[in-house]
Chain A
């Protein structure tokens, strides 16, 4: 399968094989699930880990950026969390100031377009969803739409970046349920959303974290209020009561089997070798049947 985005950047890459891969990693402030302490977000850290591996492997240039409010305060929670990313081995990180309640989308769009200085291959990596705020996982979709780049969610590995016929392509592995993987070839530039099955992020070390530079950036022209956020009521999440599975097993083996059993999928059908129209009709029919579409 090959995704062919409508390219914003007309590739003039005849001599492209010498051009360095440029990777932007979008990082957010995470929050520990038990203590709610700010720290690097797990998925974003995995994205940075992938980028750093590409840097070590093929000399990619890695730029990390964060959009968030309070860019002026040193010693803030945000700064502490951003330093966690620096501690992974980054020398600097861009912190784009976004006033409270503003939308990150426009700022990121402008920042990424401005960073497009050469015609070399470009990748943007980010975690699939943030750990605080809306956390809807929609940002990469919206960003890829506004940039006109491809977006591949649930990426676990970037295997290769190579040029062919004047275009740059990357080969990535995408996570599917049950540990399955799908290999995709994607035309660059592209956005990759990193899955929780990607490699563990490396340890963040104190020394590099303290030395790393955080560069403030103001992009006032692109500041827009996040209307949807303003309209949404926010409330603390409550753990939903879970129905206990009652297992009436008399021996340990049965109890173990019950505990280890995976949810079996029931029903459904696999469509193979069908035309796009037939496929679309089948999906529509299913959505109607499930009551998603009325």
Chain B
């Protein structure tokens, strides 16, 4: 009976799965067009899956092994099952395949048992609901395939396969296999937990940031794969859409990406806004985008909600607005504005979903079309438009902090080795101390540098994260035009946000520069032996990785090398490096200021306190401002440039040299 019914069952399931796939693909295609190389993408997919995706999954070793056993076992077992039962084969080959089937289904069964064990007391980040039945389906499939293979190999005792018992067993196995196939094959294309496998594979193939993935060539060249700059909006074409208003305004491959979500909640676990009790949960956000495609309510969502927002009160429509002012649509606006764009979710996502892109896309519509940037957002944007800096200071006051330093101006020199990009920290009294320290270090190393002075404008970072692409592009083009006038080799800046924008986002407008964060540049100066430094005498030190330096640009090592070279033994926080927790200062979050239960910088200073460090070294004006704003902090906040400047011992020698040269001796503030 088995051998007649099984092929029929398999064929029926396959046919239905194909119908489901066609329907789901048609659903994705209702998004906006996006051109991706289809064949190249499909060819690259296995590598993206086995190398890049596995690299992320493998951060959780135990679960990675579970997943390899389960998924690997399933793919192999399913393929063998189809071959054995749908293709006529010579007896000997079939026996070999049956044995392999036995092995893989057994492997999968072990994996499925481990999945079941994890699901017994699932961590809060995991979604429940249909996901709780997945281990049962996995076991039903692998167990029944194992027994069927055993039976076909004639390894089951005679008593079990003959007579009434045999019939009963065959019926039980068919039902179990049917249930397993329904979940694992039909579920892939008709919805359910296994949807992630089908959508995920295609998402990897048609990812809108193909440059994120490694290639064999890039491995040889030792390049870091990063694609973190936001994609530019086309503002030249007046009919081109400005951001995303409805689920159908996302590109089709973004929609495909949403469907790839496995609801593992790794994003939720690292999201600073979620931890602070602000109404954002990256996992729920992606699930809401999935629901938006079909217009379902979020009542069936079985994971953690947005903090402070009940599940079941939101529903969108496939072509209706995502956010409406009165609330109740797919999302509330404060969910979008809670994001600090720290990219922790993207870094952690095993399915390579681009949460930040989606959030900024929706913010763009709110700002550019609706004029609804919350909090101080519209004021900051107005200031950027009128004064080229977010706080509305007189542009002519940009150099006041350096009135006594007589900094060389690009306007006078025309060229220099290094262009020191000041950033808007030049207006901030705390950051001015960092800048003065940096100037001191550059002078000690006798670097040939110059500044743009009043010609510099805001890099446009804040405007862009607030969704004001128009202002960003205006500032970017103006800055590029200014930079074009001068000759320099490297731009050095102490602001990772400017660093990121200058090096990763100006390229789309024709500005290609060699940009260094000051920590990287100081590291290079130290490596070239151009700085002589006293060794560190203070207490315990920890280092806070700025998101826009670390996760956005992959620079984790240089700041640590600099601190180590100072003789500091770093006392690392639990969340550091690529898992560093945001200070809460990115993405315009301090400007839109969405209330939560806690403040993100308070949590970060708590992380610092747990290390027992007396000082936290930072490398970003935003982080400095956010962390220094924490009340009753146990640690001091110092920028790396300040630590290096304090340790300089070339003061006397340099002083003599300077006396010989007609140069201004600077005075410490």
Alpha-carbon distance A39/B471, docked complex (angstroms)? 14
Alpha-carbon distance A207/B386, docked complex (angstroms)? 18
Which among A39, A205, A211 is the interface contact of B367 at CB below 8 angstroms?
A: A205
Alpha-carbon distance A132/B35, docked complex (angstroms)? 50
Task: From known contacts A203-B378, A206-B242, A206-B470, infer whether A35 and B387 are also in contact, taking CB-CB under 8 Å.
Answer: yes
A208 at the interface (CB under 8 A from B): yes
A11 at the interface (CB under 8 A from B): no
Q: Which residues of B contact A207 (CB under 8 A)?
A: 242, 368-369
Which among A37, A204, A208, A210 is the interface contact of B238 at CB below 8 angstroms?
A: A210
In the complex, the answer to whether B386 meets A204 with C-beta atoms within 8 Å is no
Specify the chain B residue showing the minimal Cβ separation from A205.
B371
Contact with B along A83-122 (1 / 0, CB 8 A): 0000111000000000000000000000000000000000
In the complex, the answer to whether A202 meets B238 with C-beta atoms within 8 Å is no
Task: From known contacts A34-B392, A35-B394, A210-B238, infer whether A203 and B387 are also in contact, taking CB-CB under 8 Å.
Answer: no
A32 at the interface (CB under 8 A from B): yes
In the complex, the answer to whether A205 meets B369 with C-beta atoms within 8 Å is yes
User: Looking at A32, A34, A204, which has the most chain B CB atoms within 10 Å of its CB?
Assistant: A34
Range, interface on chain B: 20 to 34
B385 at the interface (CB under 8 A from A): yes
Specify the chain B residue showing the minimal Cβ separation from A80.
B385
Q: Which residues of A contact B371 (CB under 8 A)?
A: 87-89, 202-205, 208
| CB-contacts of A176-234 with B (<8 A) | 202-208, 210-211
How many pairs of residues, A versus B, come closer than 8 Å at their CB atoms? 51
In the complex, the answer to whether B386 meets A32 with C-beta atoms within 8 Å is yes
Task: From known contacts A206-B470, A207-B242, infer whether A34 and B387 are also in contact, taking CB-CB under 8 Å.
Answer: yes
Which among B242, B372, B470 is the interface contact of A203 at CB below 8 angstroms?
A: B372
Q: How many residues of A contact B (CB 8 A)?
A: 17
In the complex, the answer to whether A205 meets B368 with C-beta atoms within 8 Å is yes
Alpha-carbon distance A206/B372, docked complex (angstroms)? 11
Specify the chain B residue showing the minimal Cβ separation from A88.
B371
| CB-contacts of A35-57 with B (<8 A) | 35, 37, 39
Q: Which residues of B contact A208 (CB under 8 A)?
A: 369, 371
Q: Which residues of A contact B238 (CB under 8 A)?
A: 210-211
Task: From known contacts A35-B386, A39-B385, A39-B386, infer whether A206 and B392 are also in contact, taking CB-CB under 8 Å.
Answer: no
| CB-contacts of B362-389 with A (<8 A) | 367-373, 377-378, 381-382, 385-388
Q: How far is the CB of B368 from chain A (nearest CB, A)?
A: 4
24 residue pairs A–B, Cβ–Cβ below 8 Å: A32-B387, A34-B387, A34-B395, A35-B387, A35-B388, A35-B394, A35-B395, A37-B386, A39-B382, A39-B385, A39-B386, A202-B371, A203-B372, A203-B377, A203-B381, A205-B367, A205-B371, A206-B242, A206-B367, A206-B368, A206-B470, A207-B242, A207-B368, A211-B238
Q: Which 8 pairs of residues, A with B, have the shortest CB-CB distance?
A: A205-B371, A203-B371, A203-B378, A207-B369, A32-B386, A206-B470, A206-B368, A34-B394
- Seed contacts A32-B387, A39-B385, A204-B371; 8 additional CB < 8 Å A-B pairs: A34-B386, A35-B394, A89-B371, A203-B378, A206-B367, A206-B469, A208-B371, A211-B238
